[in-house]
Amino acid sequence: MTLWVRLQPDAFQGPKDVRLKPDPQAMGTQGRSGRIAGPMSLTIALSKGRILDETLPLFAAAGIVPVEDPESSRKLVLPTSSGNVSLMIVRASDVPTYVQWGAADLGVAGKDVLLEHGGLGLYQPVDLGVARCRMSVATRRGYDWTGSVQRGARIRVATKYVAIAREHFAAKGMHVDLIKLYGSMELAPLSGLADAIVDLVSTGNTLKANDLVEVETIMAITARLVVNPAALKLKRDAVKPLVDALTAAAAASRAAA
Ligand code: AMP
């Protein structure tokens, strides 16, 4: 059964059609994926790597521990110690899409991924404060970034984060040519493809290793918990305690840092 509802606009988005999974509690049955959904079962989408590593301690504090090691397991849906919660391992940039369409009830995604996705059809109730880094502009060492900007030179910028870069340079009144790349952005200034890149920087070691320097910081980035609005409504008794527990775990982790 598929229900189509028009959600009310919220702080993040305009009205939007969202396809709902059948409510397992009402239906007591099987979701679109074929998984047998128990009463109030919850699926959380997240990606392997830094987000998973840094989110698992917060989940553990909230009583959710995967029964297998997600880094070594080949399973893409992992049961957890909390019987009704399973983790779904997806590509980082796909997390918002799974949650938006209700294939996952919740997810964890970086602010960078959410801004590029647009945040449509998602609540973002908790800044988990993990996978902390920054979005920056970087150039080859020796490139006169300040002079080029002041002269109003036509600058070519390569990035995977086109929406964030466009917004940043438009807000500064700069006209730049954006070149979309999908990886290894550091190569763009080295090869002459672009004058600058917009990329995530954590320790700065990758830039340093490629003789690049950070010339502007665009924004701080952290991972956020995202929730499907329909899941929040229909599975509130399961979702709300989880959101509260993760809010408390994130606050405790910040206080201890
Ligand atoms: P670093 O050398 O520590 O500054 O890390 C930079 C490299 O790691 C770049 O290739 C970034 O795209 C990637 N990176 C850093 N932090 C994150 C993050 N929180 N999420 C995803 N990729 C990241």
Tens of pLDDT along 72-93? Answer: 999 999 999 998 999 999 999 9
Name every residue whose Cβ is closer than 8 Å to that of residue 123 and which is 6 or more positions away in sequence: 10, 12, 226, 227, 228, 229, 232
Distance 94 CA to ligand 1 centre (A): 18
pLDDT reading at 164 higher than 60: yes
Q: Residue whose CA is closest, atom 18 of ligand 1?
A: 131
The reported pLDDT for the residue numbered 39 is 56
Q: What is the model's pTM?
A: 0.85
Distance 133 CA to ligand 1 centre (A): 7
- Which atom of ligand 1 is least distant from the CA of 223? 19
Distance 73 CA to ligand 1 centre (A): 24
The reported pLDDT for the residue numbered 27 is 33
Span 39-51, average pLDDT? 92
Distance 202 CA to ligand 1 centre (A): 5
The reported pLDDT for the residue numbered 256 is 93
More confident of the two residues 44 and 120: 44
Average pLDDT across the chain, whole number: 87
Instruction: Among 115, 137, 200, say which to mutate for ligand 1: greatest number of ligand atoms within 8 Å of CB.
Output: 200
> What residues flank ligand 1, with Cβ below 6 Å?
50, 110, 131, 133, 199-206
The reported pLDDT for the residue numbered 64 is 97
Is residue 197 within 8 A of residue 157, CB to CB? The reply is yes
Distance 103 CA to ligand 1 centre (A): 28
